[in-house]
């Protein structure tokens, strides 16, 4: 290994392990603040677009901790936008699946990605109510609670399961068209309210695909590297402008990737 590669590997590992510990603390904080089951306990940013006190508290806590440890790094968070710029850049969704969280459900997570320039190099998705932590460092594999994970080997579409993400930015006609396409393929549809966890499900083989018309970088930054390391196929989210604006994503299990890509009209990278 060249000296520069060795230093880069160390820089990334150092950040990853520090961040993993910080996200574990943040996950406990979020869990302690989770509303009890009931109607949504949150503020509306727009129709069906929620923010809770925990979103803000987690983002502030993670930003404060990471910026103290790595003052030269950049930071983008869902609630406060870009806080700093740097060669390494943290990308945080403090609570992904806020609509679930706000009603006391279990399916939500904290998603933290690390990018070097525009390349995702490490990711952590911590879902404390599910007791699951997905992790990856580029070139070192993807893991769920420390065990290696891989995308499913599904070949038969009649056995496949595909999730479509819904947000208020999805036009009714698009939703109907893509749901019909999935049903026509013989796949079983799902829609569970957390983009990051839906992508993690593709990475660990619990589902065979995830499609969302437009999604933000903080929802997917951690998952992009986890999916790559798990041998899933992904649309070129960053090349399609995903850092600057909400962008389409398709992630699929490898053996049915071309069929899903064609049926759903999204090219893969």
Contact footprint for ligand IPD (CB under 6 A): 78, 93, 95-98, 165-167, 193-195, 212, 215-216, 219
Q: How far is the CB of 74 from ligand IPD (least distance, A)?
A: 20
Q: Which two tokens stand for residue 19?
A: 């961040």
Nearer to ligand IPD, 95 or 157 (CB): 95
3-state secondary structure 57-90: HHHHHHHHHHHHHCCCCEEEECCCEEEECCCEEE
Q: How far is the CB of 241 from ligand IPD (least distance, A)?
A: 16
- Residue sitting closest to ligand IPD (CB): 195
Q: Which two tokens stand for residue 113?
A: 């990605």
Nearer to ligand IPD, 12 or 225 (CB): 225
Nearer to ligand IPD, 70 or 212 (CB): 212
Nearer to ligand IPD, 191 or 255 (CB): 191
**Rounded Cα distance, 243 and 216, in Å:** 8
Q: How far is the CB of 133 from ligand IPD (least distance, A)?
A: 18
Strand (E) or helix (H) holding 164:
strand 161-164
CB 54 within 8 A of CB 30: yes
Other beta carbons within 10 Å of 69: 13
Q: How far is the CB of 198 from ligand IPD (least distance, A)?
A: 7
């Amino acid at each position: 290994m060249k000296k520069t590669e060795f230093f880069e590997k160390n820089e990334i590992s150092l950040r990853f392990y520090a961040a993993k510990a910080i996200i574990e603390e943040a996950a406990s904080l979020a869990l302690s603040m989770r509303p009890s089951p009931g109607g949504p306990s949150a503020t509306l940013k727009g129709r069906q677009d929620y923010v809770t006190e925990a979103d803000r508290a987690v983002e502030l806590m993670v930003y404060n901790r990471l910026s103290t440890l790595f003052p030269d790094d950049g930071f983008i968070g869902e609630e406060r936008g870009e806080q700093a710029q740097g060669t390494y850049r943290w990308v945080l969704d403090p609570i992904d699946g806020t609509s679930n969280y706000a009603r006391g459900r279990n399916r939500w997570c904290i998603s933290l990605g690390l990018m070097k320039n525009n390349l995702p190099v490490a990711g952590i998705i911590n879902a404390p109510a599910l007791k699951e932590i997905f992790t990856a460092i580029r070139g070192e594999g993807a893991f769920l609670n420390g065990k290696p994970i891989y995308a499913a080997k599904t070949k038969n579409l009649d056995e496949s399961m595909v999730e479509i993400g819904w947000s208020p930015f999805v036009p009714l006609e698009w939703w109907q068209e893509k749901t019909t396409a999935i049903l026509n393929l013989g796949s079983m549809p799902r829609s569970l309210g957390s983009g990051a966890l839906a992508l993690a499900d593709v990475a660990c083989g619990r589902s065979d695909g995830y499609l969302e018309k437009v999604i933000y970088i903080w929802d997917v930054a951690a998952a992009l590297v986890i999916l790559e390391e798990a041998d899933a196929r992904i649309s070129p989210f960053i090349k399609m402008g995903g850092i600057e604006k909400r962008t389409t994503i398709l992630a699929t299990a490898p053996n049915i990737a071309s069929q899903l890509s064609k049926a759903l009209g999204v090219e893969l990278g």
